[in-house]
Each structure stands twice: as structure tokens, then as C-alpha cells.
Amino acid sequence: MSGPGRDRPDEQGYVEWLTERIGERVRREVREDMPLIECGLDSVALLGLYGDAEDAFGPLPDHPVEVWPYTTIRNLARRLAGRDRVARSGGRIRTAFVFTGQGCQHPGMAAGLYAHCTAYRHHLTEADEALEPHLGRSMVQLMLGRDPLIDQTALAQPALFAVGYALAATLLEEGVRPVAVLGHGVGEFAAATVSGALPLATAAELVASRGSFMQHLPAGGGMMATCADPFEAAEAATQEPGVSIGAINAARATVLSGDIAGLERARRRLADIGIASTFLKVTHAFHSPLMAPVTPRLEALARRMPTSAPALPYYSTVYGRDYDGPLDAPYWGTQITAPVRFADAARALLTEQRPTHVVEIGPKPILTPFLRRMGGPNGPRCLPACRGPQSNAVDLAGILSALNAGPLADDVEEGF
């Protein structure tokens, strides 16, 4: 296995090569599921390992320090194998859909598109009709009426689902075919619907019930965005049994979730080492153990409903990777209390699918800056499907043009 420029191995080949070489460098047996940090590789040894790999396989695409988020030998092998895939797509567009989660809701969401885009209006109405029996009210009227109640969890979650579904369905109608989907938190329900894992009616009932169950939990919890990496955030919360990591959005964008008093103490600890934090405008500690009372109720509901595995690559923010299992009751139960592993899932999607474009599906751009930084200067073009209430059909036409979709598209098929 030597000689620069030789054919590069598949994932299993990288696993075997890395296991052997790391074992030689640390002079002990290592396993593919062993955390890299436990292998004993210091920075010098890591540089040497990369040098060995480049001698064997030719230039590698990333700087050595970028392997640390890929915590095990197996994950590092998956990273290298994914980066080695050269897309011979003949210039075709490869689009990924990334769905935003709770926190980006606001009065008048996508009002300009509703007023000026027939397709979006049709699909939003479709989602609204699926939700209304479970909510007793129209999400369209709520959003267009600019009602501040949109921030209540029981309404914010189904409203965001409706907007995400309608935006994605509009793009699909115009010929955009995603190569993969990813959803942040509640955004997973729209992603699951687009992937074929949840029928619209099922997703609507689940997301409406989920929001209602959470709304009626006791108050007193909260969430806090920090500029800490996951290790720093965990260290700040280590003395707080009621506080845990709620989301990892980027290398230095970690959200803590838990009881307010514990979050305030964690905030002071982070401030002592120069790390800024800010409380989010939420009423509960989402994606934390404080959500556990919701789990059995949602799982019981989901067991009675049709669900299946996704029909296209689905990058789970529960597991931080491509997930091809059924999006069933246990999955949605776990999703309630598990931290949102957006950074891991997004890195895996960018590495393994090599999209040329990523469209953020939501009422305003929240995740696009993270995606741009992860992709780097040679990464995909990141486009928000909706920039705010004023986005209209002209803005949508610009996105379709960038994706080579819509009535003026070239006669080129997109491939999975």
C-alpha cells in the first residue's frame, strides 16, 4: 500500500490502514471504534500519520487538525473515503436540503412568498389542512396575522413544519431533486417528510402533538447559546446536574440546555475564561433530560402511525451521521431529549455527498453561516430558500436559476 497517487481505498480499506499505522506509531493495539484521543496521538504523531497517508495515497484534502471532530478511527476512515469520491457528474447540480429548527419563527413568516408564489401558497395550504384538525386553528392565519403567539412552542413547531414543507415542496415541484436532507431539531419532521419516511398527515399529527406536549411541561427551563467548543461547554456544566449540551452547531457554537439557575452559573464560569454566552428566547429546556416526560406520550402516538426508512440519504442530527433506519417511534422519542448534533451531521453530509449547493429551508437563514464555514472556500454554494417576510417569487426564481431548475432549466437531470 505505497506509492503516491495510487488508487485510494474504500472506507474499510482506510480502517485497516489507519488501524495498522496508528498501532505502529503508539506501539499498542488499537480498535476502529476507539476514540482518537485515547490512541495516544499527539500533534507530531498526527502530522506523521498524515505524511504516511500522503506517501501512500497522494495528497489528502484536509489539514491534519480537521480530523479531531471525527472521533474514532472508523469515523476518520469514513471522512477520508468520502472526501476521495470525485463527483463525475458532468456538471450536474447536486443539491442538499437543510431544514431549520425552532428559534427562527417570527410573525409574517414567508408572507411575501404566500402573496406572490402560487406553488408555495398551494403547498402551505396543504400543510395547514393537515395540521388544523390537531391544532384547532389555521397556521396560515396565525402567520399572516403576525400574531405574537407564534413564539409559543405549541404553535411555533407546527408553523415551522408547515413553512419548511411548503418551501421544499415548491422546490420539488420546480424540478429540484435533493441528493440528501438534514433537519435541525424540529426541522427533522419536514426533512423526514421530504425523504419519504413520513407521510404528510403523520408528520403533521406528530409535530402538532410534540409541540403541545412540550408546551404543557412545567416552566423553569431554558437554553443558552455559547461561543464555547463542546468540551468547554461540558466543563462549565459539569457541576450542574440539571444542565447538559442541547446542540452542537459548529466548532465553537454550543448550546447548553437545562434549569435557569444552573445555566446562569455555567454562564459565569464561561465568562471567567473569556467565553461569551447569551440566553435564548425559549420557555423550556429543549433537547435535554427535562423533556423526558414527553417521550412516552410521543412514542405511544408514533407507534400507531405509518413510518418507514428514508428513501434518500437522511443525515440525522440525533446521531450526527447518515441514518438509514426507520424513522419510527423510538427514533422520535430519542430525538426529544438528545442533543442536536448539527455540526457532525452537516460535516458528514458535505463530506459524503459532495453537494454543489445547499439550500437552507426555513423562514429566514440561521444555519447558512455555519454551513459556509464548514464547506470552506471550495465548498458548496449555500442558499437560503427564504430571507425573511419580504422574500417573494423573484427571489425564488433566482434560487431556481442557481439550481438549474424551473421553466428555464437546461435539460439536465440531477442525480442521487
pLDDT tens for residues 270-329?
999 999 999 988 889 999 999 999 999 999 999 999 989 999 999 999 999 999 999 999
Mean pLDDT over 115-129 rounds to: 96
CA distance 78 to 237: 31
Ranking 5-14, 90-99, 100-109, 404-413 by mean pLDDT, the lowest is: 404-413
In sequence order, which residues have a C-beta less than 8 Å from that of residue 347 and are 6 or more positions away?
A: 69, 70, 374
Half-sphere exposure of 210 (CA within 13 A, CB side): 32
- Other C-beta atoms closer than 10 Å to the C-beta of 67 total 20
- In this prediction, residue 157 has a pLDDT band, given cuts at 50, 70 and 90, of very high
Helix, strand or coil, per DSSP, at residue 277? strand
Confidence of residue 89 (pLDDT cuts 50, 70, 90): very low
Q: Pick the residue with more confidence: 127 or 19?
A: 127
229 close to 254: Cβ distance less than 8 angstroms? yes
Residues 6+ apart with CB under 8 A from 180: 96, 97, 312, 313, 314, 315, 322, 349, 353, 355
Tell me the pLDDT band of 6, cut-offs 50, 70 and 90: very low
Average pLDDT, the chain: 87
Angle between helices 11-26 and 73-84 (to 10 degrees): 130
Instruction: Determine contact, residues 320/358, Cβ cutoff 8 Å.
Output: no
Q: What pLDDT, in 10s, does the model give residues 31-86?
A: 888 777 677 766 667 677 777 877 777 666 554 545 555 567 777 776 666 555 43
User: Position 147: which residue type?
Assistant: D
Q: In whole angstroms, how far apart are CA 69 and each of 96, 201, 293?
A: 22, 37, 32
The CA-atom distances, in angstroms, between 193 and each of 199, 305, 310, 382 are 6, 13, 9, 22
Q: DSSP state, 64?
A: G
Would you state the cell numbers that stand for residue 350, as one nine-digit string? 458535505
State residue 413's pLDDT score. Answer: 44
Going by C-alpha positions, the residue among 158, 203, 385 that lies closest to residue 310 is 203
State the angle between helix axes of 200-215 and 153-173 in degrees (0 to 180), rounded to the nearest 10: 160
Asked whether the beta carbons of 180 and 95 are under 8 A apart, the reply is no
Q: Rounded to whole angstroms, how far apart are CA atoms 100 and 188?
A: 8
Contacts of 393 (CB under 8 A, 6+ apart): 113, 116, 117
Give phi and psi for 46, each to the nearest 5.
Answer: -65, -45
Instruction: Round the CA-based radius of gyration of the chain to a whole number and report it.
Output: 22
Neighbouring CB atoms inside 10 A of 29's CB total 9
Helix (H) or strand (E) holding 135: helix 118-135
Are 275 and 237 a contacting pair, CB within 8 Å?
A: no
Cell, residue 42: 499527539
Pairwise CA distance, residues 149 & 141, whole Å: 12
Predicted TM-score (pTM) of the model is 0.79
Q: Which of 250, 251, 249, 255 is nearest to 237 (CA)?
A: 255
Count of CA atoms in the C-beta half-sphere (13 A) of 380: 31
